[in-house]
Structure 1
Amino acid sequence: MNPRSRLIVGLDVATVANAEKLVSTLGDTVAFYKIGYQLAFAGGLEFARDLARSGKQVFLDMKLLDIDNTVASAVENIVKMGMTMLTLHAYPKAMQAAVAAADGSGLCLLGVTVLTSMDDGDLSDAGYQVNARDLVLKRAAQAKAAGMGGIVCSAQEAEAVRAILGPGMAVVTPGIRPAGADAGDQKRVMTPAQALGAGASHLVVARPIVRAADPKAAAEAILSDMKTALA
C-alpha cells in the first residue's frame, strides 16, 4: 500500500462544520479519516456516511463492548453505512459476535488492546495484574483466534504484535507524533517512520494535522516521512 492509503487522519473536532472544512482543506492529499466519539455525538455518523459515499475511506472508532447480541446488531448496521474499519474492545466474546455479524461484508474489524493514553500504572489502577505490553500481546492473539481483521495498539508494541498476527492482518497505531511534536496526553508514542518500521500497517494522526497552522502541509510532511520509511 502507498502512504496515502496508510495514513488515517483523526477528525477529532467539535462539529461537523469543522470536519467538513478540514476535509475540504486536505482535499485529495488525504483519503482515509477516523471518526470517534467527539464528532459522532455531534452529527458525525451521518457525516461518516457522506464521506464514504464521496469515495473516502472511514474508520469508525466506536470501541464497541456489550452483550453479544447488541454488538452483533450494531455491527450489522455499521456494515450498511459503508464503513471501512470499525473498532471494538478486544474481549473474546465481543470479537466473536462481531466477526459473525460482519461475515462477507468487507468491513475490517479492529480489536482495541490497550489505549495509548494508558501505561502500566494506569492498568494497575484499573485492577489489571499485567503490564501493558503483555496485555496487548494477549489480546492480539485472541483477536487473531476470533478472526478479526486487525488490532489497534501503540506503535511501541507493533513489532511484537506483528510477529503474532503475521503479515495479513492490520496493525493500526494511534499516538503517532512527528519528530519534535508534543505528545499531549499520549504516553506510548512513535514517529511515523518508526511506527512503519515496527510493523504498523496504518497510522492514525489527529492533533499534529488537525491543529496545525497549515493542515495540508502537515499531512504532506507526514506522508513524505512515511514514503521515505517505506522505501
Structure 2
Amino acid sequence: MDKRPIIALDFPNREAITKFLQHFPEKESLYVKVGMELFYQEGPTIVTWLKSCGHDVFLDLKLHDIPNTVESAMRGLAKLGVAMTNVHAAGGVRMMSSALKGLEEGTVEGKRPVLIAVTQLTSTSEDEMQHDQGIDRSLENSVLHYAKMAEKSGLDGVVCSALEATAIKKQTSDDFVCLTPGIRPLGAAVGDQKRVVTPEGARALGASYIVVGRPITKADNPYQAYQEIKQEWNGEI
C-alpha cells in the first residue's frame, strides 16, 4: 500500500497543472496520474516535467490494440521512466503479455514500471456492462475473470473498484496490486462514478493504491483536502 493517494491530474494543459500545484509545498513529492486528456494535449514532455519536479507518475493511457502495436507502444513509453502504466484487460492474455514484454525491453535503467490492467471502469454499472458489453455474468465475476487473466499474463495487478479488491486478493495473491479509482470522502459528490468507496473503506477492503481526482482538484483548499484524504487512507483519523 502506497501511503500517498494518487492525484488524478485531469486538467487540459500544463498551465492548469502549474496553478494547481501552487497549492502544495514545493518540495513535497506527490504521486500523480496523467491520463488521456492531458497526455494527448501536452505529449510526453508533461511526464518529463512532472518527474523533474520530484513527482512519481502513473501514466493512465489504457492501451488496447493488437499485441504487436501495444508491445511497440510500451517499449517507447518505458523510456519515460514512469512509476506505473496500464492496458485494458479486455485485450486478452496475448496483448497483456506483449505489453509486459515491450515494457521490460524498453526499460533501459532502474526497475520497470508497474504494469496493471483495467478490468471494468468504476463508472460502469452492472446493467450497463451486461447491456452494452454483452457480458452475461455479474460485474464482480467479470472483474475477477479479468484479474486472473492479468495475473496469468505476468502483470502486477489491476485497476478495479475497491469493492472488488478483497475478492481479487483471494483469487490471486496478497501482493497483487489493486489500484482503485472512484474514491470519494463522505459527503463528496459522486459525479459520474457508480462504484464509489471512501479512503478508509478502500484501505479496509485491501486496496493497494487509491486514485482521487475532483475531491482534491476541485477543493477550495486542495492541499488540505489532500492531507485529510491521505490521513484517512493511512488510518490516521
TM-score by length of 1: 0.93
**Aligned residues of 2:122 and 2:161 also touching (Cα < 8 A):** yes
Give the secondary-structure state (helix, strand or coil) at the position aligned to 1:118. coil
The aligned residue for residue 146 of structure 2 is 139
The aligned residue for residue 14 of structure 1 is 12
The alignment of Structure 1 onto Structure 2 pairs a total of residues equal to 228
Task: Return the offset for 1:40.
Answer: 1.3
TM-score by length of 2: 0.91
Following superposition, which runs of at least 4 residues in structure 1 exceed 3 angstroms of deviation? 27-30
Aligned equivalents of 1:186 and 1:194: distance in 2? 16
Task: Return the offset for 1:44.
Answer: 4.8
More helix by share: 1
The aligned residue for residue 93 of structure 1 is 94
Alignment of 1:151-190 (within 5 A): 151-190=158-197
Task: Return the offset for 1:164.
Answer: 2.1
Q: Which stretches in structure 2 are left out of the alignment for 5+ residues?
A: none
* Residues 53-103 of structure 1: per-residue CA shift (max 9 Å, x gap): 333110011000111111001101110011111111012221110111122
The aligned residue for residue 102 of structure 1 is 103
* Residues 124-164 of structure 1: per-residue CA shift (max 9 Å, x gap): 22222122111100010111111101100001101111222
Q: Which stretches in structure 1 are left out of the alignment for 5+ residues?
A: none
Name the stretch that deviates more: 21-30 or 58-67: 21-30
Counterpart AA for 2:16: N
Tell me which of 125, 150, 153 is aligned to 2:131.
125
**Aligned residues of 1:176 and 1:205 also touching (Cα < 8 A):** yes
**Aligned residues of 1:35 and 1:61 also touching (Cα < 8 A):** yes
The aligned residue for residue 199 of structure 2 is 192
- 1:71 counterpart = 2:78: no
**RMSD across aligned C-alpha pairs, in angstroms?**
1.6
**Aligned residues of 2:63 and 2:86 also touching (Cα < 8 A):** yes
Aligned equivalents of 1:197 and 1:96: distance in 2? 31
